Structure 1
């Protein structure tokens, strides 16, 4: 079944109720432990209406994940614009901004991320949306490095591990499974970026950042 966004008022309202219910349940109980009946009951609607609107539980998770990807890309693009506008003191300052923004987006869309992590584990495959988002993130990471290190660049293979670390540390913190990270906001993001830059420097074999 191919998803088609609703165009009429009642259909839009129905979809919004299902999405809100699914988001709350995925965040609280996870994707695997949430059924279509759970979502329909929480939305105050019928299972048949859900199936007519989405066709499957995977489809509604896909919509939620698409929202996360879209907002993440917008934030990354805003960071690039700020970089080109001279708003950052250096590459480290830019990464702090990315880390802070990443945590905010993850908190807002934790249901979508939790659902898709379970889906990927179930299917043993990589979701193309997640791949595309990470490729975009890697490019922003590399563009930032090149911007603040004129004449230098970081290869994709060297950028991937530190970028992954920045994402994973924020994700684990949001899931409350990273107890060693500082609880204080600025200290935490400084620690995450320090770890990211340390890995980057290790990959490059030189000390490039203060």
Structure 2
């Protein structure tokens, strides 16, 4: 998207330092790592609230354990560099109105809820992590993306504007990450495969402009 500051943090170098000796991270790198870990940890519970109750109940225990682990690692990394980082607050259905009504009134079924959740929660995640990396994401774009995405995935809007469609296509690119996690840890998880498939199909659909 050409955001200012997108190259402020050297990702490969930061990852290498994190693997070899996290105490060697600069304050800027440590802030980036800790912010990402906290954002990842806090991500799943509000995400689950957008999905059917059976899904939320089935995942809440491992989700909370994962958040606890990530918070511990984030605190260790931030503490070693002497930086302070806080966890983000994500959008939850009870806080959101779509077309004048409750956020989930316009969606039914797992796929529709999943795409609505991803379009909003990933936006929240990106804005927070980008800020920690020194990336300047224009607030007008964030608000426009949020407004259009809620109306498109959860309401009556029939298309996204070209800029928002491109932004969402990039946000939906997590299918590759989900697939790598599933393979790297030999999870062979049907749920991860479902997530990967839904994300990939939506990313490809947005890329094709098929709205």
Please give the TM-score of this superposition, normalised by the length of structure 1: 0.32
The alignment's TM-score, normalised by the length of structure 2, stands at 0.32
- Decide which structure has the larger Cα Rg and report it: 1
